Structure 1
Amino acid sequence: MNPTIKDVAKMANVSIATVSRVLNNLGGYSDKTKQRVNEAIRELGYQPNAIARGLINKRTQTLGVLFPNVSSSFSSDILQGVEDFAHSRNYSVLVCNTDGEEKRTMKYLQLLREKQVDGIIFSSSMLKDEYYETIKSMKIPVVLISSQSNYPAIPYVTINDRLAACDAVEYLINRGHRKIAMIAGTENDVLTGAPRMDGYLRALRKHRIPIDERYLVHGDFRFESGCKALETLLRTAPDITAIFAASDEMAIGVLSAASRHGLKVPDDLSVIGFDGLQLSNMVVPPLTTVSQPLQEMGKIAAETLIRSIETGETAEGIIVSHSIVERQTVRTLT
């Protein structure tokens, strides 16, 4: 017969209510009591019944997370932060890969409704009206990560993409570069593509550097498009000395394509990325990048969402700081 919460309470010599509070991280007990309860749980092999707990607190202790590309390093870094905090609060996480498709996103939102998740984290995609209306009808909170919506009251966790991109280009300018190309995101991407491109243009104008249309190409933030973009730049703008890529994956694509062409980074070409992925420190040479604290952003989003779930409070948007991580892909021109 499976052990019950009553058995745990008896072995730990506490009330059933105290065991419940320990299981739900609600506080109101000493560290010694918590230790006794957890030892009893381990010794008995007790498994909390999520359905039964949900009947008591009207929650399933489950969060839904939607990404347009769950396999990307960007998404996995954010997810690490979300899961770390969620699990520390005894919440489970359901991850949905929407592939950026409207139909697929709506299908996943319906699935999350059926699973009765307590809240949703929506990342790296525009929260369209139909998505918002569906979540609103579910009567659960939502938090955005690196996302936007037409609803200013929705909490978000993001960086200032425009300022971060401007800082990246100024970093190159301050090291003597003037012929700076940019591999931007998709042309119609208002979420991150447009602000980062605007930051690039702003830095050039600020330093009175002429804007050369040959120096601006578009990708889709992924590795392969970085490779293709360098091929294009080598044909149309072979005089460039530096590249600002709007994602680390595209920057790493540039490193790969440069190596195939016999170009040395940074001796022949300087490269700076954007995101601060863990992967950016693993490539050769290690990538200089504009870092946004992705794991920390995931943690903040999960913490914000769970607070809203448990208190009913509406949180405010949070702009986190970016930084430039200097490694080995940018050289100073003399």
Structure 2
Amino acid sequence: MKPTIRDVAKMAEVSISTVSRVMNAPDRVVESKRNRVLEAIDTLQYQPNSFARGLIYKKSFTLGLLIPDIENLFFAGVIRGMQDACIKLGYSLMICNTDRDKDRLLSYIDTFHEKQVDGVVFASDILYPEYYEKLVGCRIPFVLVSTHSDEYDIPCVEIDDEMAAYDAVKFLIELGHKELGMIGFNHADSVSGPPRSRGFVRAVKEFGLDHNIQNIAYASHRFEHAYQAAHELFTDHPNLTAIFCVSDEFAMGVISYLKDRNILVPGQVSVVGFDNLRMSSMFVPKLTTVAQPMYELGQRAAEKLHELLTTGMVQISKEKMDHKLIIRESSREK
């Protein structure tokens, strides 16, 4: 039979409330009692029941995560980082896939409220006013990951999307490419699409290649959409020798399109992706890509939310994590 908090209290010869304080605020318990309780916990191998803790402290010890596309491998890394952080911090994690559907997302916030989650991480989507108002109205603390809000002062952790895109395009230009294109996210439903487009435009302008500014095709968030966008881009601009893609999945779609047209990568066209998914090093050719610290983004989001929940504030409200260009086989000198 599993030991209970009552068993710990009896063995340590203290009250149940003292055991609770040792587990949650040990500095408030005198050393002699604290040591007896810790010895009893170790002897009995006691593990506190989360439901009981919730009744005592009026917390569920559960965090919610709102993500737009659970099939996107980028989010696998974010989820893993957040899950590992939650385990260390004593939380369970409830994940909801929104498919960027506003009604569904709002209903998930209602669910979080009903389940009494302690806080929510809002991932990689635009924080529309109705989302903000719903979360605030439900009194659910939240932080943002891989997104930010210019309108609301909400803690966030992300990379510098514009700078990351700039670095990728600069790399291609320094390889000698002068005819460049880009496959970007549709701006209407993307938070990272506009800054990555700005990075592309800034790089080509800086190097005097302004004629490339219009060489951008937009797609939704899937491989097949990037494949079609590549068809449109190369139909209009057949002389392109380098393509920057705002995701690795897009880069794979572009390379597949080029392969079907017997265009060699990187022999005739260099392709650079974005994210550094696990698949990027397994694909043929292996992808040159901008690496996002996916695991660390999820980990820091959970830690930042925990900080907000326990102290009422975060020391670093707007946190930028580093990106890195990973050079592999899909790019070469012109």
d(CA) in 1 for partners of 2:127, 2:185 = 18
**Alpha-carbon distance between aligned partners in 1 of 2:159 and 2:107, rounded to the nearest angstrom:** 29
Aligned-residue offset at 1:258: 2.5
Among 41, 44, 56, which residue is 1:37 paired with?
41
Deviation per CA, 1:40-89, whole angstroms, max 9, x where unpaired? 33xxxx66432221121221100010011112111111111111101111
SS in 1 for 2:243: strand
Alignment CA distance shift 1:264-1:49 (3 Å): same
Tell me the alpha carbon deviations over residues 305-334 of structure 1, each in whole angstroms, 9 at most, x when there is no partner.
Answer: 01111122245110111111111111012x
2:91 aligned partner: 91
Matching residue's letter, 2:263 = L
> Partners of 1:74 and 1:93 in 2: how far apart?
18
After superposition, where does 1:187-206 map in structure 2 within 5 Å? 187-189=187-189, 191-206=191-206
Q: CA separation in 2, counterparts of 1:251 and 1:300?
A: 28
1:86–1:92 Cα contact (<8 Å) kept: yes
Are the equivalent residues in 2 in contact too, given 1:222–1:247 (CA < 8 A)? no
TM alignment of 1:21-32, pairs within 5 A: none
Preserved contact between residue 201 and residue 211 of structure 1 (Cα < 8 Å): no
Shift of residue 250, structure 1, vs aligned partner: 0.5
Shift of 1:137: 2.0
Shift of 1:265: 1.7
Distance verdict in 2 for CA 1:211–1:16, change over 3 Å: farther
**Contact between 2:187 and 2:193, CA under 8 Å: does it hold in 1?**
yes
| SS of 1:211 mapped into structure 2 | helix
Partner of 2:7: 7
User: 2:286 maps to what in 1?
Assistant: 286
Cα 1:4–1:259 shift into 2, 3 Å: same
Q: Deviations over 1:85-132 (max 9, x none)?
A: 011111001101111111111100000000000001001111111111
Task: Quote how far apart the aligned CAs of 1:12 are.
Answer: 8.1
2:117 is matched with which residue?
117
- The residue that corresponds to 2:146 in the other structure is 146
Q: Tell me the secondary structure at the aligned position of residue 169 of structure 1.
A: helix
Structure 1 counterpart of 2:326: 325
Does the 8 A contact of 2:19 with 2:37 survive in 1? no
Closer, same or farther: CA 14–243 of 1 in aligned 2, 3 Å: farther
User: Within the alignment, does 1:54 sit opposite 2:54 as a pair?
Assistant: yes
CA contact 2:180–2:212 (8 Å) conserved in 1: no
Deviates more, 1:273-282 or 1:71-80: 273-282
Correspondences of 1:163-312 after superposition (within 5 Å): 163-189=163-189, 191-212=191-212, 215-312=215-312
Query: Could you list the runs of 5+ residues in structure 2 that have no partner in the other structure?
Result: none
Mapped contact 1:144–1:157 kept (Cα < 8 A): yes
Q: Distance in 2 between matches of 1:141 and 1:15?
A: 33
Do the aligned partners of residues 66 and 279 (structure 1) sit closer, same or farther apart at CA in structure 2, a change above 3 Å counting? Answer: same
Q: Which amino acid aligns with 2:91?
A: Y
Q: After TM superposition, give the deviation of residue 263 of structure 1 in Å.
A: 2.8
Task: Provide the TM-score with structure 2 as the length reference.
Answer: 0.89
CA shift in 2, pair 1:51/1:269, >3 Å: same
CA distance in 2, matches of 1:251, 1:38: 53
Amino acid of the residue matched to residue 153 of structure 1? D
Residue identity opposite 1:108 in structure 2? Y
Q: Distance in 2 between matches of 1:294 and 1:102?
A: 25
SS of residue paired to 2:286? coil
Residue identity matched to 1:110? D
**Helix, strand or coil for the counterpart of 1:286?**
coil
Task: Provide the residue aligned with 2:161 in structure 1.
Answer: 161
Task: For 2:290 and 2:176, locate their aligned partners in 1 and report how far apart those are by CA, in whole Å.
Answer: 18
TM-score, normalisation: structure 1: 0.89
Q: Using the alignment, how far apart are the partners of 2:72 and 2:38 within structure 1?
A: 39
The DSSP-based 3-state class of the residue aligned with 1:290 is strand
Higher mean displacement: 49-58 or 6-15: 6-15
Quote the residue 1:137 is aligned against: 137
Superposition pairs for residues 58-97 of structure 1, below 5 Å? 58-97=58-97
In 1, Cα distance between equivalents of 2:264 and 2:10:
69
Q: Distance in 2 between matches of 1:31 and 1:259?
A: 68
CA contact (8 A) 1:23 1:90 kept: no
**SS of 2:305 mapped into structure 1:** helix
For 1:218 and 1:264, how far apart are their aligned partners in 2? Answer: 23
Q: How far did residue 37 of structure 1 move?
A: 3.1
- Taking the aligned partners of 1:281 and 1:27, their CA distance within structure 2 comes to 47
Deviates more, 1:136-145 or 1:201-210: 136-145
- 8 Å contact from structure 1 (residues 12, 40) kept in 2: no
Identical counterparts, % of pairs: 41
